[in-house]
């Protein structure tokens, strides 16, 4: 039974064609267990990449490794990388928004290597198409991509502990010097504020009375 699976993104389309082992003939969506051909096409690019199982494995491994490099900023070569045909390679260009995808066809195809320039949008649409295919349990269930962390020897060298401790040491030293200087500063003279004269209480007039209240006249005292 011929089966065709297509994973389409706006800028990239991955098409897988194959057969089912017929383990469950009544399955509404039979699994694609035997890959016959894999095709990869990009929007606006006339060239088409295609191959068999080796091509698909190299595509998935190369795309995932390169995406990991873009996110981590660390480049490292593939260990034990085969120089046989039907493999792919992704390399960055001078423009950080452009990437070079090179396909080395299998020797029996008698074709020269194919080079395609991809934008970052096309690249990550390819990543998404490959991820959709890998997440599809009904397409090549035995297919998997083993992602490994960046080897330690390719990591950026960490800053030595002595260099990281220098700024902290200078900060503590400055703080100690400032505290030592403040200890010998003379204490400021604090003056007690002078008492302000208290104003005599004012008299309020009852409502409607605008004349000031009469003042008491002292009674003269006749001397005897």
Q: Sign of dihedral through CA atoms 1, 35, 118, 47?
A: negative
The pLDDT value given to residue 189: 65
- 3-state helix, strand, coil split of the chain in percent (to 5) is 30, 20, 50
pLDDT tens digits for range 99-125: 999 999 888 878 899 999 999 999 999
**Proportion of the chain above pLDDT 90, given as a percent:** 41
| C-beta separation of 35 from 52 below 8 A | yes
- CA–CA distance, 167 with 164 (Å, rounded to integer): 7
CATH of region 2-137, choose from 3.30.420, 2.30.31, 3.40.50, 2.40.50: 2.30.31
Q: Sign of dihedral through CA atoms 61, 65, 66, 67?
A: positive
pLDDT band at residue 79 using 50, 70 and 90 as cut-offs = low
Q: Can you state the angle between helices 53-72 and 120-135, rounded to 10 degrees?
A: 120
Return phi, psi of residue 126, to 5°. Answer: -65, -40
Domain assignments of the chain as residue spans, ordered by start? 2-137
Sort 42 into a burial class: Cβ within 10 Å, 0-12 / 13-18 / 19+: buried
The structure's pTM equals 0.64
pLDDT tens digits for range 137-148: 999 999 987 766
- CA–CA distance, 209 with 116 (Å, rounded to integer): 104
Beta strands 87-92; 98-104: pairing state: antiparallel
């Amino acid at each position: 039974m011929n089966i065709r699976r297509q994973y389409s993104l706006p800028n990239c389309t991955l098409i897988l064609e194959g057969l089912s082992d017929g383990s469950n003939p009544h399955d509404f969506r039979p699994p694609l267990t035997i890959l016959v051909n894999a095709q990869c096409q990009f929007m606006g690019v006339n060239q088409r990449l295609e191959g068999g199982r080796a091509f698909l494995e190299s595509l998935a491994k190369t795309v995932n490794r390169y995406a990991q490099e873009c996110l981590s900023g660390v480049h490292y070569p593939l260990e034990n990388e085969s120089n046989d045909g039907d493999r792919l390679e992704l390399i960055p260009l001078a423009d950080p928004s452009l990437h070079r995808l090179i396909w080395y066809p299998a020797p029996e195809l008698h074709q020269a290597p194919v080079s395609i320039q991809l934008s970052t949008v096309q690249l990550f649409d390819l990543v998404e198409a490959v991820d959709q295919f890998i997440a599809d349990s009904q397409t090549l269930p035995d297919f998997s991509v083993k992602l490994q962390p960046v080897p330690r020897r390719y990591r950026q060298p960490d800053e030595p502990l002595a260099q990281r401790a220098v700024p902290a040491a200078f900060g503590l030293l400055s703080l100690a010097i400032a505290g030592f200087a403040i200890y010998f500063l003379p204490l400021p003279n604090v003056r007690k504020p002078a008492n302000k004269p208290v104003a005599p209480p004012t008299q309020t007039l009852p409502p409607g009375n605008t004349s000031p209240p009469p003042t008491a006249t002292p009674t003269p005292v006749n001397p005897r």
